[in-house]
């Protein structure tokens, strides 16, 4: 009897310890569910895509480089179109669904993240409610699956995210938080009203930190190598030389990439980091944007020489910028930036330019083929290392009108979804693909 009682006690004690040790797993898995709280939405229509791009343009400040006050009023349907558009661009729409709604003085954000597929799909469903009575977004409720977090826990979690992912720590910029630029947030009916200070230094610092976060240690080393090679190239150019062709840098840089690939390095990574280093130099920006202050501190600063394409500095800048963005973040984001930038120029600056758009598309094509797969990357290294003429990849769009104001663009093409505009873009794309550098690829 004593032995039986001892066994019962032993099993009970073991079960108790198993339960205690399982508490972290139970707490971790309790928010995980087998169904999404928000059903996936249909693909964006052409009209919704055009509307999203127009919304981004309307939200942009008149001068992106100047400190200014911005007032924004967005209907909740517009916010949801923008969120769907951004998720689609970043490739997250297949797994992540997001929906925002406004209720009196609060904003409710609900999302479903598909963790696994298969015969038992798992989802992380999150719903958060923000109050706006203090003219700021105050988290008042956070639910993860069936688990309601206490408000103190939720506030701690939000603060930790701001500290670790949003605040920048660059010694040049100081500690900055984009949310500190928001002056007020309010809800009026179905519209969210936001007043904020557009601070280019804060936006730039956060953008720099985001880029650095996405660049691996190996890629930073590659960027340094190409940046040092650029320094070697420009050092031997006579000081009286004011400008050089983009080919002067492309040929030796891709020759170096080809040598590294032949020695076993990944050609896709070599091409991607080459474009990143090249864009920094051509745009006369600081290399610390990509590799951080510590690594950049001991690097030589190359003498800047104006880089031109078809005798225009802006075309070279357009090409390498879009190439770097495409190689780093994908052609979808690069395409968004290209079209929005030209629409922005049409409204606020020099006007819409098909020449600029062509240079953007050449940069995207060059980067796509240079990073698509190993064989394509190697072939592009071979071709760019021996390229002779700028016209081998950059066509002269001689009959294009440049500097078209927004109102004139609307008269000629209506908008970017019109058949006339799309026909012009297709024509330019076909001309680009017929260039010797891209032929048969």
The pLDDT score that the predictor gives to residue 409 is 76
Whether 95 is covered by a domain: the verdict is: yes
Same domain? For 241 and 372 the reply is: yes
Which two structure tokens, joined as six digits, stand for 278? 């090249």
Whether 23 is covered by a domain: the verdict is: no
Q: Please give the Cα distance from 293 to 382 (Å, whole number).
A: 34
User: What is the per-residue pLDDT across 42-56, written as a single tens digit (0 to 9) for each?
Assistant: 777 878 877 887 787
Q: Say if residue 282 is exposed, middle or buried (CB neighbours under 10 Å; 0-12, 13-18, 19+).
A: buried
Q: Please give the Cα distance from 385 to 44 (Å, whole number).
A: 41
Whether 403 is covered by a domain: the verdict is: yes
Whether 439 is covered by a domain: the verdict is: no
* Regions of the chain short of the pLDDT cut 70: 1-30, 62-65, 90, 153-155, 157-180, 198-214, 341-349, 398-401
Same domain? For 305 and 268 the reply is: yes
Number of domains present in the structure of the chain: 2
The pLDDT score that the predictor gives to residue 199 is 64
Q: Please give the Cα distance from 359 to 369 (Å, whole number).
A: 15
Whether 268 is covered by a domain: the verdict is: yes
Query: Whole domain around residue 421: which residue ranges?
Result: 215-433
Same domain? For 331 and 423 the reply is: yes
β pairing state of 243-245 and 306-308 = parallel
Same domain? For 260 and 221 the reply is: yes
* SS3 assignment, position 175: coil
The pLDDT score that the predictor gives to residue 408 is 78
Whether 114 is covered by a domain: the verdict is: yes
Whether 26 is covered by a domain: the verdict is: no
The pLDDT score that the predictor gives to residue 203 is 56
Given 165, 198, 231, the domain boundary residue is 198
User: What is the per-residue pLDDT across 294-304, written as a single tens digit (0 to 9) for each?
Assistant: 888 889 899 99
Same domain? For 164 and 230 the reply is: no
Question: Roughly how many angstroms between the first and final C-alpha of the chain, as a whole number?
Answer: 83
Given 146, 168, 198, the domain boundary residue is 198
Same domain? For 193 and 219 the reply is: no
Given 164, 198, 232, the domain boundary residue is 198
Same domain? For 70 and 219 the reply is: no
List of residues 6+ apart from 308 with CB closer than 8 A: 243, 244, 245, 246, 315, 316
The pLDDT score that the predictor gives to residue 392 is 96
Same domain? For 231 and 138 the reply is: no
Same domain? For 339 and 423 the reply is: yes
Same domain? For 290 and 415 the reply is: yes
The pLDDT score that the predictor gives to residue 65 is 63
Beta strands in 84-241, from DSSP E residues, in sequence order: 96-103, 106-116, 122-131, 138-144, 147-149, 182-188, 191-198
Q: Please give the Cα distance from 312 to 328 (Å, whole number).
A: 25
- Nearest residue to 331 (alpha-carbon basis) of 369, 383, 368: 368
pTM: 0.72
CA distances from 57 to 14, 116, 232, 319, 337 (A): 63, 36, 40, 22, 10
Same domain? For 357 and 308 the reply is: yes
Whether 229 is covered by a domain: the verdict is: yes
Same domain? For 356 and 246 the reply is: yes
């Amino acid at each position: 009897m004593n032995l039986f009682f001892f066994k019962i006690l032993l099993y009970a004690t073991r079960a108790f310890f198993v339960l205690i040790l399982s508490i972290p797993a139970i707490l971790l898995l309790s928010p995980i569910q087998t169904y999404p709280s928000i059903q996936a939405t249909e693909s964006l229509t052409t009209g919704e895509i055009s509307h999203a791009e127009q919304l981004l343009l309307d939200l942009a400040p008149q001068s992106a480089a100047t400190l200014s006050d911005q007032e924004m009023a967005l209907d909740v349907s517009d916010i949801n179109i923008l969120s769907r558009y951004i998720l689609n661009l970043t490739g997250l729409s297949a797994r992540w669904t997001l929906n925002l709604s406004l209720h009196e003085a609060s904003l409710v954000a609900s999302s479903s993240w598909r963790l696994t597929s298969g015969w038992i799909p798992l989802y992380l469903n999150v719903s958060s409610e923000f109050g706006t009575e203090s003219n700021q977004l105050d988290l008042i409720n956070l639910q993860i699956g069936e688990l309601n977090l206490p408000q103190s826990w939720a506030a701690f979690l939000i603060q930790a995210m701001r500290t670790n992912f949003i605040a920048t720590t660059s010694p040049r910029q100081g500690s900055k938080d984009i949310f500190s630029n928001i002056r007020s947030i309010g809800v009026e009916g179905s519209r969210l009203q936001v007043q904020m200070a557009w601070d280019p230094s804060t936006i730039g610092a956060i953008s720099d930190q985001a880029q650095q976060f996405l660049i691996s240690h190996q890629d930073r080393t590659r960027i340094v190598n190409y940046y040092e090679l650029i320094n070697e190239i420009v050092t031997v150019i006579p000081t009286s030389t004011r400008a050089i062709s983009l080919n002067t840098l492309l040929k030796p840089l891709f020759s170096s990439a080809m040598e590294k690939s032949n020695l076993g390095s990944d050609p896709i990574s070599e091409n991607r980091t080459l474009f990143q280093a090249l864009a920094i130099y051509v745009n006369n920006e600081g290399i610390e944007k990509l590799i951080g202050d510590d690594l950049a501190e001991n690097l030589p600063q190359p003498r800047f020489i104006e880089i031109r394409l078809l005798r225009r500095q802006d075309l070279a800048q357009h090409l390498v910028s879009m190439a770097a963005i495409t190689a780093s973040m994908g052609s979808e984001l690069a395409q968004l930036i290209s079209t929005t930038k030209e629409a922005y120029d049409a409204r606020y600056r020099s006007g819409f330019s098909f020449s600029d758009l062509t240079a953007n598309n050449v940069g995207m094509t060059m980067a796509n083929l240079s990073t698509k797969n190993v064989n394509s990357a190697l072939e592009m290294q071979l071709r760019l290392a021996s390229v002779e003429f700028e016209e081998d990849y950059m066509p002269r769009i001689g009959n294009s009108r440049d500097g078209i104001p927004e109102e004139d663009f609307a008269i000629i093409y209506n908008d970017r979804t019109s058949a006339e505009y799309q026909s012009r873009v297709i024509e330019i794309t076909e001309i680009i693909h017929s260039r010797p550098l891209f032929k048969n690829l």
